[in-house]
Each structure stands twice: as C-alpha cells, then as structure tokens.
C-alpha cells in the first residue's frame, strides 16, 4: 500500500502564495478607471475650426472644447463632471478615425458618446440634431416639433447650449426660426465657418430670411421644403415658389416635403432665445 503524504500546512501555502505576489503596474488603476468611465483622458484633434481638446473614456467621447491651455481644460472638466482627467499621447486609433470621418461629414461614422447626467429631454434634442444632414440647417422650432414638444423652443435652445460634444452632435446645424444663424457655444463666427465648410450657402439663406421667405416650393412637384433641404436645392429657378409661412404654402395647394418635414410656423415661434448652442 502506498503511503499517503500529508497536505501542506496553511502556513506553507501562505508562504508559497506570498512568494508569487508581485506589485501591480502603476498604469493598471488609471487604465481600469478609464475603461469603466470613472476617469477620463483627453487628447488634441485638429478640426475645420482649429484645434480641439477631446475627452474620452471607455463609454465614449465625453467632452469637446476649443483648445486652451492644458490646466484650464482639465480644471473645467473636473468641475463640470467631477471625474479625474489626464492627458493622453493620442486618441485611441479607432475613436480618432471615427471622429475624423464624422467631422468630415460621414454620418455613418459611429462615434460613441458618454452623455451621463443628461436629461431625457436633452438626449432627445441632441439625437434629433444628429439627424440633420451636413450642409443643411433646421430651426429650433423644427427640433421642438420633431421631438413632440412644439412649445419648448427655449428649452431646445438651452439643451443645445449645454451640448458637451459640439461638432460630434451638430448643434451648429440648428438656427433661429427667423432665419438668422444665432449664437453658438464655440462662438458665432465659428458656427458660420463650420456651416460654410459643410457647403451651406449662408448668403442665400440669410437673404431669404431678410425677405421673409421661410419655405421654398416647386411648381412641378407641388412640394414645399425648408430652404436648405437637399430637395429644395434641386429646384430650378424657373420653378421655385417662395412662401412666407407653412399656411401660405398649404393654401396654395402645396404639401410638405417628407425629407425635411417643414415644421412650425416661423411667425408663431418666439425668436428671442438668447445664447444658444
């Protein structure tokens, strides 16, 4: 019969395990916190309006701001979000490529965003802004009507003004209901620059607004659109019909475009909105 050996004592097992112990890398904790969204990193990114600082974590992009000095950006971020943040050498490769594609106008580029803390209303507004195509704009009242809150134009403006990821969520594509471009979290001149870079004819849009024209129709299709709608841009000058209001277009026998879904009457929407995003 084979003699059974005695199992090692608890002390021996403990000693063996202590011998296997090793200090965790100093980078492990920061990397873990970043991955689960309890901390953020940031890196610079060039854009059509200059260099941006882009903050991110494992959940997605959490903040986009015009480049300032490092300390100011980190201090403002920590104050707004209550999380630690550090500079990274660069954006993660996949995220960086997606951001570059999105800023170049590719709406198919998937850019994850971390919008913790946003209200359901803010999310609805930001998600609707994402639907506006490059080179087109929509009035604040359009956004309000589209999300089922036609009386909440001021609240829409406030939500866009608090958009933490401008350019990723294109709040610059939302303008005043009277046709003026309006203010922007990154500055009104930068808003104009981005819209022009996206192919918007600001001179024509503002000229129509000064003339009180808010909708364009085609006398061949009997459809009316918002002025920057892709369908409106296809209307030949000889067939273009201008309308001051949706009621006027309806009375003339025109139906609304299914693509841009022209919304509330401009003269029924307050334009005294103050600073907007």
Active site residues: 171
Strands 174-175 and 138-139: parallel
105 within 8 A of 134, measured Cβ to Cβ: yes
Tell me how far apart the alpha carbons of residues 188 and 172 are, in angstroms, rounded to a whole number: 9
The Cα–Cα gap between 254 and 251 comes to 7
Neighbours of 222 (CB within 10 A): 13
Rounded to an integer, what distance in angstroms lies between the CA atom of residue 82 and that of residue 201?
A: 41
DSSP letters spanning 204-252: HHHHHHHTT--EEEETTTTEEE-TTSTTGGGS-GGGEEEESSHHHHHHT
Tokens representing 222?
A: 């009997």
**Long-range Cβ pairs for the range 186-191 (8 Å, 24+):** 186/49, 186/66, 190/49, 190/50, 190/66
Bridge partners, 40 (sequence order): 85
Distance CA 54, CA 166 (A): 10
């Amino acid at each position: 019969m084979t003699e059974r050996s005695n199992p090692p004592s608890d002390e021996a097992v403990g000693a063996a395990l202590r011998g296997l112990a090793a200090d965790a890398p100093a980078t492990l904790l920061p990397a873990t916190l970043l991955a689960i969204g309890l901390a953020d990193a940031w890196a610079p990114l060039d854009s059509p309006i200059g260099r941006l600082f882009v903050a991110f974590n494992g959940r997605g992009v959490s903040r986009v701001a015009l480049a300032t000095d490092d300390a100011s950006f980190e201090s403002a971020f920590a104050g707004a979000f209550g999380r630690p943040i550090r500079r990274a050498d660069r954006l993660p490769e996949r995220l960086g490529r997606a951001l570059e594609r999105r800023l170049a106008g590719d709406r198919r580029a998937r850019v994850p965003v971390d919008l913790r803390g946003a209200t359901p209303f803010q999310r609805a507004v930001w998600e609707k802004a994402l639907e506006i195509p490059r080179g087109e704009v929509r009035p604040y009242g359009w956004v309000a009507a589209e999300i089922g809150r036609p009386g909440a134009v001021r609240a829409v403006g406030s939500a866009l003004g608090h958009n933490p990821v401008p350019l990723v969520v294109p709040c610059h594509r939302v303008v005043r209901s009277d046709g003026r471009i309006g203010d922007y979290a990154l500055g009104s001149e930068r808003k104009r620059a981005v819209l022009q870079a996206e192919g918007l004819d600001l001179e024509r849009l503002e000229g129509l607004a000064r003339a009180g024209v808010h909708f364009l129709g085609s006398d061949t299709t009997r459809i009316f659109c918002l002025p920057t709608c892709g369908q409106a841009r296809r209307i030949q000058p000889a067939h273009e019909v201008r309308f001051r209001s949706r009621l006027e277009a309806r009375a003339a026998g025109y139906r609304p475009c299914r693509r841009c879904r022209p919304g509330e009457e401009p003269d029924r929407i307050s334009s005294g909105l103050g600073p907007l995003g």
